[in-house]
Amino acid sequence: MTTEREPGVLELGLPDPVVDPELPTRVRIHEVGARDGLQNESALVPVEVKAEFVARLAAAGLRTVEATSFVHPKWVPQLADAEQLMPELAALPDRYPGLRLPVLVPNERGLDRALAHHATDVAVFASATETFARRNLNRSADEAMAMFRPVVERAGQAGVPVRGYLSMCFGDPWEGPVGTDQVIRHGLQLLELGCAELSLGDTIGVATPGQVTALLAGFVRAGVPVERLAVHFHDTYGQALANTLAALRSGVTVVDASAGGLGGCPYAKSATGNLATEDLVWMLHGLGIETGVDLAALAATSGWMARRLGRPSPSRTVRALLGADG
């Protein structure tokens, strides 16, 4: 049963915005709940529920919603229905102008499948550490880059922009702390391949704000415009929002988040959920930063999905707005 809470939270105008002139005026949220979130669920979510989830996220104002992954079903069975899902989403960009529905592709075969379903944006997933690369991609970090080269080239020829994910940017459960120079080297490789955007991932949630600031400054010194960088934080130690604020102060304007805090990493068992989109939106709106997101509609969507997964949402904001069972 949902616990009672004081009515009128949103009607009171909360959060009360106080603008910080040193922060960006607008942030684009790269929503990953339908892909990175659901791929870590033990239960298989029906394709019609996934399609409605994506549609609800778009209706809440999110304009970048990562839809699925064209990986082999053996590796991520939770996303084995990508071919069935994509046609269900085909009409959404017409209904919501500006909506992008990126998909993850691990190799050329994945790209072929994505292009066959008219994907307009794709992403590749690399690692800053050797151990995670071998566990996740079954090859070394440099071998993975070689595998991605034809993917990025062919996507560019098809007019499809590619996002590069770089995982384990702050710490690796098998290798320990990850050096800034090491992360920058692999990040530059992805950008040099032709990736339009680089998302820096704290895959096991060990980063602190000082590390975030130092890494972003290192990329800028290496000649990478901060506009090409995004951040992807996990909240294992409760630092995701603090790390996000540090990234914003460094000029980052693209932040990955997962509705309701869904997801982790199936290849890094110590990784807990992604930064919850609702928690991020609450903070951004409190700073007077525009997102285009309707927080009430987004929280309702995460509550809806939580009920279908049979457990409460991990998001503090969802629980505050909808009650303990939200």
End-to-end CA distance of the chain: 10
Determine the Cα–Cα distance for residues 227 and 76; give it in Å rounded to an integer: 31
Give Cα separations from 272 to 33, 53, 202, 238, 266 (angstroms).
14, 21, 11, 10, 10
Q: What is the DSSP letter of 226?
A: G
Contact 167, 125 (CB under 8 A): yes
Question: Could you tell me which of 206, 140, 142, 217 has the C-alpha nearest to residue 170?
Answer: 206
Contact 202, 169 (CB under 8 A): yes
Contact 313, 33 (CB under 8 A): no
Determine the Cα–Cα distance for residues 320 and 9; give it in Å rounded to an integer: 9
- Identify any residues that bridge with 163 across adjacent strands, giving them in sequence order: 123, 197
- Indicate the burial class of 118 (C-beta count within 10 angstroms; 0-12, 13-18, 19 or more): exposed
Q: Is 195 a catalytic residue?
A: no
List 82, 89, 141, 265, catalytic entry: 265
Indicate which residues carry an active-site annotation: 265
